[in-house]
Structure 1
């Protein structure tokens, strides 16, 4: 372990239920701001730019985003309550997320 998993939504500065268009717009803004050509020779900027690209490539692809949303970071101490509820509302609102088993009486 010890592997750090980044919150791609925070990297791209978008909400957890962001549309593809919002993701694209935020990516463009951040890519322009952090592009290595604007910051000659700064390895920290290059690393940030690569992180932004990685986040974008996952969140813009529906299959990768779905997989990330299921297996992304779960370190609840890193979230405010509002962020936690926004991040995990899909799981929270399902029967299994609430610990309710599906029965035919519903």
Structure 2
């Protein structure tokens, strides 16, 4: 397991933790992380013990989603249980992969989808 990430079996939706869409740009992820980290910093809530856990969850989500390799691995692991999401939410989550599969390149919605296309181009070109 990569250092700095949780080893719990509880599945978390890091996109929802950071309050961003599944195709969020690196900039959107960074901005929301900073906003939430300031809002939930334990120093601002000294008497609330649940804030520390929330703050750690925000940091964990950012560590994964801000690193292109970790984000790609996270997105491909199928970490979400499909029955917890509507069809629309599930498809939105995999939008980048759906639009870049097999070299279709229908849409380039973010830097992340470009990285996904580049990372998988050898697989699809064969």
User: What's the TM-score, normalizing by structure 2?
Assistant: 0.69
Task: State the shift of 1:41 in Å.
Answer: 3.5
C-alpha offsets along residues 43-76 of structure 1, whole Å, 9 cap, x if unaligned?
Answer: 2100000000000010000010001001142311
Count of aligned pairs: 96
Look up the match of 1:55. Answer: 61
Look up the match of 1:99. Answer: none
Cα RMSD, aligned residues only: 2.0
CA distance in 1, matches of 2:78, 2:19: 16
Task: State the shift of 1:81 in Å.
Answer: 2.0
- Unaligned runs of at least 5 residues, structure 2: 1-7, 103-123
C-alpha offsets along residues 23-60 of structure 1, whole Å, 9 cap, x if unaligned?
Answer: 01100111111000000042210000000000001000
Q: Would the aligned equivalents of 1:7 and 1:72 in 2 still touch at CA under 8 Å?
A: no
Matches of residues 9-88 of structure 1 in structure 2 within 5 Å? 9-88=15-94
Runs (4+) off by over 3 Å:
90-93
User: What's the TM-score, normalizing by structure 1?
Assistant: 0.81
